[in-house]
Amino acid sequence: MTLPPPEHDYVISFTGFSWSVRRSNGVGAFFSVSEGNRDRKIAVEKVASLAESDHTDVWETVGNGTFWRLRRFRP
């Protein structure tokens, strides 16, 4: 667990109805990449594919401002 993920890392979060994929800008803010994934497994695989090609990590929100690393693709 950690505070905001490093710059350019991907984050999935549950919005109450679906999963959204966002990307960190490194200062605690994010921009949206994808929204509306109802299945967590599909959202994780989608973001893992993006992160692997960008050599970044995948995180999931586990509370307000707390993140859990799901996959690591950094060299």
User: 41 to each of 29, 38, 45, how far by Cα in Å?
Assistant: 24, 9, 6
- pLDDT in the model for residue 65: 81
Domain boundaries, the chain: 10-71
Tell me if 47 sits within 8 A of 10, measured CB to CB.
yes
pTM of the shown model: 0.87
**Residue 59 β-bridge partners:** 11, 69
**Residue 61 β-bridge partners:** 67
Return per-residue pLDDT of the chain as tens, 75 residues. 667 889 999 999 988 889 999 999 877 788 888 878 899 998 899 899 999 999 999 999 988 888 999 999 998
Which tokens go with 4? 């905001």
